[in-house]
Structure 1
Amino acid sequence: MKKIIVVLSIVIILLSCKSETKDNGKLNVVTTTTMITDLVKNIGGDSVNVQGLMGSGVDPHLYKASEGDVSKLVNADIIFYNGLHLEGKLVEVFEKMGSATKTPIALADQIDKTTLIGSDYFASNYDPHVWFDINYYKQFAQKVTAILSEKDKENASKYEENKSNYVARLEELQNKVKQIIETLPKEKRVLVTAHDAFNYFGKAYGFEVVGLQGLSTATEAGVQDVQKLATFIIDKQIKAIFVESSVPKRTIEALQAAVKSKGHNVEIGGTLYSDALGTTGTVEGTYIGMFEYNVNTIVNALK
């Protein structure tokens, strides 16, 4: 609580002395998650300066703004974030900024709520991991393009062209993913991971998805949760379970040990990228590369 008060105080001070100048005459855009950072870079191209707050392996559920982050946010022309309480600990900072000089843009706000996956256990009552449905990510692309074009009309045609090219690549990804998944028998499409990040993926591609933790990594799995899921794995004869890059692997290792204690074996099929992309500069450091990598990892391990 003390840190939150300090951060909010910094917000107020910096807002009072915010500079209106743009670096190199370009829009200054700040993003939260790596998925949104990659999206804005693809659409903004060399017409915007993009600063992402979160890096590879960072858990957005638990992320807290530093003083440096607040300075970036205050001096941004546009702020894009996921919403649906994904960035739970940044909400108070965003609310303070929204009541001052700007309103950060929650990209998930434009999604038809009747199509979202609900939850009785998460603060927003909706699963926030919407980027695992590529159709929702394409909606993010539309919103980013509209906001950039509104703020920078001079480069609107560039943003629109970049968006069209990127959406075409996303559609290619959808076709490729579908072909890969079709090689996995339907009865083997059971995905067990550290937390419930893949429900939209499961809904889109016909997987039963089970997470050891809830929708937020702020919740922890208890002994009963581990034992219950171990029994599920044995009953379903699941071949592999998966670690997540932004969640400590000890939870999945505990699950593997629980299965073994019951006289059965289950492999750890690999590490999936869930709440963050891979390292910048790698294939998995892009949304498209991450998605294809995840699908290949899942299908190869479950076959």
Structure 2
Amino acid sequence: MFIFSLLACMKQTENPIAVQQDTSVEKEQLFLDLDTEQDNITAFIKTRGSLNPEDEIVYYWDGYIYQSDFADPESSPVTSYYSDPILKFEGFNIARFEKVSETEYQMLTREITVYKNLQDRIIDCWSNSRIGVSPSEAVPVVHVQNDPVNFYLNAGSYRELGDTIAWNMEIFLAYPSPLDFEDHPQFSASKTYQSVELFDFFSKRADLENPDLDTVPTYISWSRVGQYLPWMKAGQKDGFLVYHAQGYKVLEGFDGLPEDLKEWTINNVPEYQHPPESAINGSNMTSWRYMNKILTDGTYPEECE
């Protein structure tokens, strides 16, 4: 999608001596001061998205999910340094960016995450014995289908690591759970939804200061600590999940995603091949709100094989 030619073609006229002059104006190299609001948001949007509102920006990620229990304060301590993952996951976000002002953009997105077994296959059924639920059962897997996931973006927090700019976001969430455990005791950990998400975006300063690039190659790291997923039917069981993923901006767009993820998306939610066309009023979709929706409208599958 984003291919930038460095060669200019010169066309001969009928006079073999005469050569058409290149009248294009070379753009000046940018020198961005990331401590100023306008330069900062310009660089951050080139990293997270694109300065061109028509561009469809895709980020891909994959990683592992781990389960951890709180230590019993009265038991003898147990030394542990490692843990085996309980699941793999991969997903993508597809977005476009609209300029609101010189220092603000609106991000219009939707996103998919699919859960996989440790053999790297997308799964639709999973045993919650892996997290110590007793009695355990096979539970239907509810993959992430979040639409919309919209935000207003302003200047970002950053660090310079040599020639790389590292943008960081730390998000601590706590709000009334859409799945109150009194109404949905099997699917909810608490009256309060809580999680922590840590994002890092890595881009090159030289790319950010290239005036010919509206969007730049970027790598990401993402970590999350949160409650058991609603579809795991863990109820109010002690413990939590830890996610760790890495990813990158897919410069080829949706077509550049892994084949299994593209196939799942096209077969199940083909509209996710493109970002939303316009903003939607109301709350962003989350796994907890989506679970509440399918429990309410009766589309949640009660059993799986």
TM-score range, shorter chain: under 0.3
Structure with more of its chain in helix, by fraction: 1
Higher relative contact order (CA 8 A, sep 6+): 2
Larger radius of gyration: 2
Q: TM-score, normalised by structure 1?
A: 0.27
